[in-house]
Amino acid sequence: MTALMLMGAGLNAMLGIALLLLWRQDPRFPQVRQWGYSWILLSLGLTLGIALAPEQEPSWQHDLQALAASASLMGSLMLLIAGARSYRQLPFHRALWLPAFLLMMASIVVLARLDHSLAVIAATVYLVAGSWACAWWMGQGGHAGERFVAACFVAVGFVHASSPLLDPLGRSPITHTLGLFVQTTLSLGLILLSVARAHADTRRQSNRFEQLTQHSLQGLVVLQQHRAAYANPAAREMFGFPPGEQTVSRDQSSDLLSTLVPMDQQRSASERHALVLADPDARIEWEATRLTREGRALYVRGLSSHLEWDGAPAELLVMIDDSSRQRAVDALRRQALHDELTDLPNRNFAVARLRELTRTGGAPFALISADVDRFQLVNESLGHAVGDALLHAVARRLCRHLPVQAMLTRLGEDQFLVLLEGVAERREVEPVVAQILQLLEQPFEVDGEALFVHLSLGVARFPQDGADVDSLLRAADSAMHRAKQRAGSACEYFEPRMNVRSRARLEAEQSLGRAIVEREFILEYQPKFRADSRKLCGFEALVRWERPGLGRVSPADFVPAAERTGQISALGQLIVEIASQQLREWLDRWGLLMPVAVNVSPLQFDDASFAQRLLDRLDALQLPHQSLEIEITESAAIGHLGRVLPQLQQLRQAGVLCSMDDFGTGQSSLTMLRQLPISCMKLDRSMIEPLPEPQASAIVKATCALGRSLSLEVVAEGVENEAQALAARDLGCTQLQGYHLSRPLAAAAAGELLGRSLG
């Protein structure tokens, strides 16, 4: 009889170990572990409490054994209950069940001291109640397998109940024989149930993964040795494969790298693949060009990481087709470095190249500054369209016939720059100058007109005429302006005496200084309106010089003179004083304000106290800092970034708004958009004028998308008609400014407009 009981206990222990081993294979299911330990404790409790129960009178050894047996049996019961509740995802609070365990264990020990049979009855009651409770939880709304396990728990309860009925000490062979079969059946049922649940959970997770990958907008590809082991529909569509077709068949697997990866990127793709396969922690972000099945180029952003696939390492590629964004970025980058009108490199490109060439130890080279004579007359008499066409024709002819070592750029307006690398002597420059002048002997056919063009050329050489970019450009311009004093096309080589200013220029510049002292300048205010509602949202202050006895002087004349003579700081300070005083008057009258933008030259930032002085002025008038907006052209700031950026950041942190003016004039830089602390970018009228033409609309839309991604206001300047206004609004511009909406207003008229909008 003892052997039978020990065999049953040993079988329970082995089944418990089997459950624990099953749990080790998939630790997601804690009930398997709980049932395994329950079975082991049950076998231990039966062994100590029944199979090895001493025959002699009670002693302290007997008490200790009874304590261990009761602890094992009740611990087994608690774990059995915990497993059933965990299976059904019901709470199992230790604060409740631990006292119950201690109470049951103590009652069994006390009864065992009185009478062993009473302890057996108490343990039986607990075991029967626990088994039938587990049967209730397992059978509630379960499937056939769960109902079978519930029936086994019921049977276990009956077997436990038969124990004291057949033998007061619970040593009946019938009970232990039935228990052996029922416990074994229950154990197998629990094992099968656990395996079935694990498989069901795996299938559920697999289905979820499949749904996620099938509906993902990102392309997912599992790559093993350059063979696509899996590709989701987004990846197949991205690379031009039909939805139901395998990305690459097995007989084509060796050609995947050469099929979809351009030749110049195959090595880097292969090295990345090998690195990811070798490193389980690898996560590599990359951007590159890929090819579709038909050979069309895509710009792809991807993330490569390590993955175990079918027992072997693989590379998981998560990809998005970023071609449209990249095309927009390329268009903006090209716009930043190329002139749209002539398709030549622009000033930014030329300045960057000259910086490279003027580094210490750079080879000698020559610059030819070329300016079209009397070009403004063409614009005034024949229109800007003819003038633009003429500049394009001049650029095309020069590009076709200049020597290969000559790089032609457009600096702006009617000025070109020819860079001759490797040319050091005047005798080497002269043939190129002669060739340029000869190219202008034939007229240009533009819009049915035969137009003769004259160029004034100025030559400067590195290093003798200048050691840096600015000095070389100034030298070439000085020589060019001297050439303009001669009739027809002409060329002058830079000489130091050209830097001597004429008496007339000195007189004009002195007049400007006196005008600043006498406050001969006034401001007009051009309104800005919200693009969607056409409501007033601010003003731009435009400076005007009312020169006594001579009338109004254009800012295009006196602002450059102020910059050349260093008077721009005093002029800028005067403009800020006038604008801020006007803001104070409007605030006193209307109680509210809208921001007024003032144009600031980057040379004003040469004064390290400019930003603080502006803030002090606003504070002295008790004006909110956000009532004033600073406008600065990126093309002007690019050469002064080190001085401009810190003060702009100081102003921006204090609440003064900053905007980039004239965006789109061929000078705009994506780097500037990132570096400058701006809140607004103003699209130049040259971008707005062609609207709503498709090509112009595409550039404006891409620019607005860039501004939106940087959380910038986008202002359309030069809106001349309703079609332009509607197109600018629909393409993403948030504010409009131009004669169609309002001309610049005197301070009084602007104040009345402000009052009406606030009312």
Instruction: Tell me the pLDDT tens digit for each residue of 144-164.
Output: 777 888 888 888 888 878 877
- State the average pLDDT over residues 607-612: 87
608: in domain: yes
CB–CB of 731/747 below 8 Å? no
The yes-or-no verdict on residue 9 having pLDDT over 50 is yes
Question: 665 falls in which pLDDT band (50, 70, 90)?
Answer: low
- Residue partners of 609: CB distance under 8 A and separation at least 6: none
Q: How many CB atoms lie within 10 A of CB 295?
A: 9
The yes-or-no verdict on residue 251 having pLDDT over 50 is no
Q: Are residues 352 and 288 in the same domain?
A: no
Range with top average pLDDT, 175-179, 238-242, 415-419, 423-427: 415-419
Q: Are residues 380 and 288 in the same domain?
A: no
Q: Are residues 223 and 175 in the same domain?
A: no
**CATH, residue 388:** 3.30.70.270
670: in domain: yes
Question: 418 falls in which pLDDT band (50, 70, 90)?
Answer: very high
334: in domain: no
Among 7-11, 187-191, 393-397, 622-626, name the one with the lowest average pLDDT. Answer: 7-11
Among 63-72, 235-244, 295-304, 689-698, name the one with the lowest average pLDDT. Answer: 63-72
Q: Are residues 610 and 722 in the same domain?
A: yes
328: in domain: no
The yes-or-no verdict on residue 245 having pLDDT over 80 is no
Q: Are residues 571 and 604 in the same domain?
A: yes
**CA–CA distance, 73 with 160 (Å, rounded to integer):** 12
Q: Are residues 562 and 697 in the same domain?
A: yes
| pLDDT at site 169 | 63
| pLDDT at site 536 | 94
Instruction: Identify which of 426, 404, 427, 453 has the alpha carbon closest to the alpha carbon of residue 418.
Output: 404
| pLDDT at site 119 | 74
- Quick one: tokens of 754? 């402000």
505: in domain: no
- State the average pLDDT over residues 304-328: 87
CB–CB of 266/258 below 8 Å? yes
User: For the segment 703-732, what is each residue's pLDDT rounded down to a tens digit?
Assistant: 999 888 888 999 999 999 999 999 999 999
pTM of the model: 0.40
335: in domain: no
**CA–CA distance, 713 with 732 (Å, rounded to integer):** 10
**CATH, residue 713:** 3.20.20.450
Rg (CA), the chain: 44
**CA–CA distance, 56 with 66 (Å, rounded to integer):** 14
- 389-393's contacts with Cβ under 8 Å and 24+ in sequence apart are 389/446, 389/447, 390/444, 390/446, 390/451, 390/453, 391/341, 391/342, 392/341, 392/342, 393/444, 393/445, 393/446
Percent of the chain with pLDDT over 90: 22
CB–CB of 527/539 below 8 Å? yes
Angle at 542 between CA 539 and CA 543, to 5 degrees: 145
Residue 457: domain span: 340-500
- State the average pLDDT over residues 290-301: 87
Per DSSP, the residues of 383-394 read -HHHHHHHHHHH
265 or 641, which is more confident: 265
**CATH, residue 265:** 3.30.450.20
DSSP H or E run through 417: strand 415-421
Q: Are residues 701 and 620 in the same domain?
A: yes
User: For the segment 449-494, what is each residue's pLDDT rounded down to a tens digit?
Assistant: 788 888 899 999 888 888 888 888 988 988 898 888 888 888 999 8
| pLDDT at site 49 | 60
The yes-or-no verdict on residue 311 having pLDDT over 90 is no
How far CA 691 is from CA of 341, 665, 726, 728, 741, in Å, comes to 16, 16, 9, 8, 16
Q: Are residues 526 and 613 in the same domain?
A: yes
CB–CB of 337/345 below 8 Å? yes
CB–CB of 84/134 below 8 Å? yes
Q: Are residues 550 and 411 in the same domain?
A: no
- State the average pLDDT over residues 166-192: 73
- State the average pLDDT over residues 38-51: 73
Q: Are residues 630 and 592 in the same domain?
A: yes
- Quick one: tokens of 238? 């991205």
| pLDDT at site 66 | 66
510: in domain: no
Average pLDDT, the chain: 82
| pLDDT at site 743 | 93
State whether residue 226 is helix, strand or coil.
coil
| pLDDT at site 230 | 85
| pLDDT at site 615 | 93
Instruction: Identify which of 38, 65, 55, 80 has the alpha carbon closest to the alpha carbon of residue 1.
Output: 55
Please name the residue that has the structure tokens 């993902």. 216
Q: Are residues 348 and 420 in the same domain?
A: yes
Overall domain count for the chain:
4
Percent of the chain with pLDDT over 70: 89
**CA–CA distance, 511 with 503 (Å, rounded to integer):** 12
Question: 6 falls in which pLDDT band (50, 70, 90)?
Answer: low
Instruction: Identify which of 521, 585, 580, 574 has the alpha carbon closest to the alpha carbon of residue 548.
Output: 521
Sign of CA dihedral 553, 554, 556, 559: positive
251: in domain: no
Q: Are residues 268 and 202 in the same domain?
A: no
